[in-house]
Amino acid sequence: MKKPTKSYLIKKLDIAFAKHIKRAGVCQRCGKAEHLNCAHAYSRAKMSIRWYDDNAFCMCVGCHFFWAHRNPLEFASWVQKTLGDERFAALILKSNKHKKWSIEEMQERLKELESLNSCQ
């Protein structure tokens, strides 16, 4: 069997991670239950925390795109309040670490997420 490529696994992980985050079922900011997104505090470009639970929030489209993206300082403050100071500080530290995922690590994280998603 051919080994999956990193780009294939990144797509699969992004889909599984978004599904995992959206399992909250409502926007964590306003409580709406429709048009939910997986909103990242730090960009998905930060591979060290791309699929890290404390870097993502279930948000409706309005809160995600029309509030968080347009008001980054308010969003950062909300993230800190939501996580609490200790978890927020840990998120910052983890975001500043370089992470190069191996195929095996990506496959393992994908397995974890698929297992969590199947427990609905």
- Write the DSSP string, 26-54: S-TTT---SSEEEEESS-TT-TTTTT-GG
pLDDT of residue 120: 58
Q: What pLDDT digit, counting tens, does each position of 63-81 carry?
A: 999 999 999 999 999 999 9
Residue 119: the pLDDT is 78
What residue ranges of the chain have pLDDT lower than 70? 1, 120
**Domain boundaries, given as residue ranges, for the chain:** 21-97
Give the pLDDT of residue 57: 98
Length of the chain: 120
